[in-house]
Amino acid sequence: MNRVYILIVNWNGWRDTIECLESVFRIDHPDYRVIVCDNGSEDGSSDRIKAWASGDLDAWVNKGNPLRRLTNPPLPKPIPFVEHDRDRAESGGGPEEAKARLILVNTGANLGFAGGNNVGLRYALRRDDFDFAWLLNNDTVVEPDALSHLVRRMEEKPHAGMCGSTLPFYHAPETLWARGGATYNKWIVHARCLGYRRPVNERFDQGEIERRMDYVAGASMFVSKGFLRDVGLLCEDYFLFYEEPDWAARAAGRYGMAYAPGSVVYHKVGAAIDTLGMPGEGRRRIVDLTMRNAIRFTRKFCPWALPAVYLRVLLQMIVCRVRDRLDKSVPRGKPA
């Protein structure tokens, strides 16, 4: 029945994760298990997620939110779960998960996007009882048939190793963040989501989307077990950003990419990294990480573009410094 492992990485974001789980456990696919890898959270996330699974904590969604229908009323609880540390998870767990629908893994540290997901992928590969893995951001909620559409598209296109979803903005559900994935310009290290800011109901050509897609958007990445075994896990060198294009580049020539339009996943775009803060230091960290990884990716896959990339990085650093100075020049009012 095409068992699927659904992987969700949490880092200090239990509220989003619980809302995501409330929607995930309503999907109509008959055979799936959910793995939540907590990346060393310091906000009590593990205890909160266990409380939710036990029925002691509900997902809270504003009554005026049109997507509340995907998470309300609360699911019947408890949801059977097991809890593992990283070593136990990567060894495949044990017989105790026979009845568990939710596997909670404490990775022990912030391993980044790739590292957190890889712990869950190693668990799945060690158990070897699945056909697909669905990497899903914790700041998403999904339509009940989102997974079924992904499975169906991969069956229709067997040479594809990865498949993307339709990704509207969570706070503007009639507007697209991405249709499946993105294009990537190697010369100016610029990614552009396909369909960005276009109406969700706008007409499109599915084949054209799949031809243009350079990589599948990480908010919803559906991959086959064969892809995982042949291409390998996510590259952990990046920590955050560039893992998706790296995966696609490593698979080039061996596996294609697919897009399942009916798989609708609403994305809170950026919520998972909000704790870094955008002004000042937080913004610099994001820019530094992005630019560092752009150089690493370019050196690895298209070194001939390095001169242009170094120029782009220099310009971005100058822009960042100017913004910092402008932020500091704005007078701040005294606290009341």
The 10s digit of each residue's pLDDT in 52-66 is: 999 999 998 999 999
Q: How many angstroms separate the CA atoms of 41 and 276, rounded?
A: 14
Residue 29: predicted pLDDT: 96
**Whether this model's pTM surpasses 0.75:** yes
Q: Which of 308, 300, 31 is nearest to 151 (CA)?
A: 31
Pick the residue with more confidence: 276 or 157? Answer: 157
Q: How many angstroms separate the CA atoms of 225 and 75, rounded?
A: 30
Is the pLDDT assigned to residue 336 strictly greater than 50? no
* Region 313-329 average pLDDT: 76
Q: Which of 143, 137, 135, 103 is nearest to 23 (CA)?
A: 143
pLDDT band at 273 (very low <50, low <70, confident <90, very high): low
Residue 19: predicted pLDDT: 98
* Region 28-38 average pLDDT: 97
Residue 282: predicted pLDDT: 62
pLDDT band at 81 (very low <50, low <70, confident <90, very high): very high
Distances (CA, A) of 160 to 145, 170, 206, 225: 20, 28, 14, 11
Is the Cβ–Cβ distance between 78 and 10 less than 8 Å? Answer: no
Q: How far is CA 127 from the centre of its chain?
A: 22
Residue 87: phi and psi, rounded to 5, are: -60, -45
Helix (H) or strand (E) holding 181: strand 181-185
Residue 73: predicted pLDDT: 95
pLDDT band at 277 (very low <50, low <70, confident <90, very high): very low
pLDDT band at 270 (very low <50, low <70, confident <90, very high): confident
Is the pLDDT assigned to residue 301 strictly greater than 80? yes
Helix (H) or strand (E) holding 173: strand 172-179
Q: How many angstroms separate the CA atoms of 27 and 87, rounded?
A: 30
* Region 302-314 average pLDDT: 94
Residue 278: predicted pLDDT: 43
What whole-number percentage of the chain has pLDDT above 90?
A: 82
* Region 82-86 average pLDDT: 97
Residue 283: predicted pLDDT: 64
Residue 319: predicted pLDDT: 81
Q: How many angstroms separate the CA atoms of 39 and 42, rounded?
A: 9
* Region 106-113 average pLDDT: 97
